[in-house]
Amino acid sequence: MAPVVPHEVHYEPPAYAIAVLDALEARGHEAWIVGGWVRDALRAAPCHDVDVTTSALWQESAQALRDAGYVVHETGTQHGTVTVVVDDKPVEVTTYRVEGSYSDHRHPDEVRFVQDVREDLARRDFTINAMAYHPQRGLLDPFGGCEDLAAGIIRAVGDPAQRFAEDALRVLRAVRFACQLGFVVEDSTHAALVEAAAGLADIAQERIGQEMDGIVGSGRVGWALMHETDVLCAAVPELRAMRGFDQRSLWHAYDVMEHTARVCNAVEAFTAGVASHHLRWAALLHDVGKPACCTIDKMGRGHFYGHPVLSGELTEFIMERFGLPSSLIRSTSALVRFHDHIIRPTSRSMRRTLAVMEEADPGHAMARAHELMDLKRADAVSKVPKCAWYAVELDEMDALLREEECKGTVLGLGDLAVGGQEVMEVLGIKPGPMVGAVLHELLAAVVDNEVENTRDALMEELWRSALENG
């Protein structure tokens, strides 16, 4: 075997991976490191978990590794995979294999084990993932993955239509890799993935959610919205109504889809590319309810009353369908629901905003409020040019928010100097909804600076209320 080595691998494999290779080869089997580790090592990037492929059948791999003193778990033997643990690091070891047809567009109907690593590499999705490396034999790159890495291209291995027909999720994987690596999709691969995007309907929502989460987390979902619109609309059908939707507004220069893409890009600019995961999701979904809320007035202008609430509801529905963490959903929904919340450059407005965010995402009011400012800035600069002034005004508001942060501003009911016990004693009421209602009234009074947050002041307010109400 004469591998091609057009580029240097910038990292040597970790010792635990070499130990796996050595254990297999000591028994006469061939073994290579494959997958993300090879791709990332060629890019001089932090390396992916190590996977190994081998000529050994899984039973032979398991025996060789156990004889070497390692713990082996039979994690996917139907596909020839075992997982070995070396120095507390798991390594997947899989027999060279080829796969039959994919009648359900998700799983191969049959798996056949082979003895040539090139056959194994030929079944993989993209050229940049179809390379193998060995510390002594060097790099095996039969499909030009190195050249595509250097050119910044995502290209399918072999016939793109066949690759996507085998597993429709590869459509989203192509977009995710393009986003994460800053690459573009090669023309024939792109044409095939657009054609195959409808096949995502056969894929489990949780798997789609994982890929979408990677796309959003890359910080380049704005690019994906404009360049891979068909794919994203197939993955998230709720986005389709945004495409080409004319807002008919003096405040908007773009349709809802392009406006959203620009907001996603602007969020990255305002946060220097380190936006939180929930802020990125909020940028993507903040206007997803707009088309359904549109009304046209007598002047032919569009209005979108209630769209933040509907967008928040759709956000929760979409993200729950994808099986994403509840904490991520809650934070994202809070930003979406209040992205049109009116904020003025006053301390009172800052306190009200903090109270709103505390109720929406308890324990995270200050962080969410700062992120709300970033979302509002991004929204403002993605409308017509005359709206950009609001982004500057938001800088002043952000400064006021930081002042409130330094003061230790009351954020929620738990910050009040009195609690339910005092309310029940003064008003002579029993536990129930009324206690919470009174506490919320006290919180509003403190937020509006009408009452100091001291026990004496709040007790006086309670006594005054008791007298007024008999």
Contact criterion met (CB below 8 Å) for 267 and 279: yes
Distance CA 361, CA 355 (A): 10
Question: Which of these ranges, 2-6, 14-18, 145-149, 409-413, has the smallest mean pLDDT?
Answer: 2-6
What Å distances lie between residue 445 and 290, 315, 410, CA to CA? 34, 32, 11
Q: Please tell me the pTM assigned to this model.
A: 0.85
* Res. 104 pLDDT band, cuts 50 70 90: low
Q: What are phi and psi of 448, to 5 degrees?
A: -80, 5
Q: Encoding tokens for residue 291? A: 């088309």
Distance CA 57, CA 80 (A): 7
* Res. 255 pLDDT band, cuts 50 70 90: very high
CATH C-level class of 416-468:
mainly alpha
Average pLDDT over residues 319-346: 95
Contact criterion met (CB below 8 Å) for 148 and 127: yes
> Which of 235, 221, 124 lies closest to 172 in space, CA to CA?
235
Average pLDDT over residues 440-454: 77
User: Following DSSP, what letter does each residue of 189-223 receive, concatenated?
Assistant: HHHHHHHHGGGGGGS-HHHHHHHHHHHHHTT-HHH
Q: Is pLDDT above 80 for 396? A: yes
Average pLDDT over residues 347-367: 87
Average pLDDT over residues 165-181: 96
Residue 293 is predicted with a pLDDT of 94
Question: Which of these ranges, 224-228, 411-415, 434-438, 443-447, has the smallest mean pLDDT?
Answer: 411-415
Topology adopted by domain 204-407: Hypothetical protein af1432 (1.10.3210)
Q: What are phi and psi of 119, to 5 degrees?
A: -65, -40
Q: Is pLDDT above 70 for 108? A: no
Average pLDDT over residues 441-458: 77
Residue 430 is predicted with a pLDDT of 83
**Could you count the other beta carbons within 10 Å of the beta carbon of residue 244?**
11
Q: Is pLDDT above 50 for 124? A: yes
Residue 3 is predicted with a pLDDT of 40
Share of the chain above pLDDT 70, in %: 93
Question: Which of these ranges, 90-99, 219-228, 273-282, 385-394, has the smallest mean pLDDT?
Answer: 385-394
Q: Encoding tokens for residue 191? A: 């044409």
Residue 1 is predicted with a pLDDT of 37
* Res. 418 pLDDT band, cuts 50 70 90: confident
**Residue extents of the structural domains in the chain:** 15-154, 204-407, 416-468
> Which of 78, 93, 170 lies closest to 127 in space, CA to CA?
170
DSSP 156: B
DSSP 10: S
> Which of 76, 93, 73 lies closest to 22 in space, CA to CA?
93
Supply the angle between the helices 455-468 and 420-427 in degrees, to the nearest 10.
40
Q: Encoding tokens for residue 98? A: 């080829």
15-154 is a CATH 3.30.460.10 domain:
yes
Q: Is pLDDT above 50 for 378? A: yes
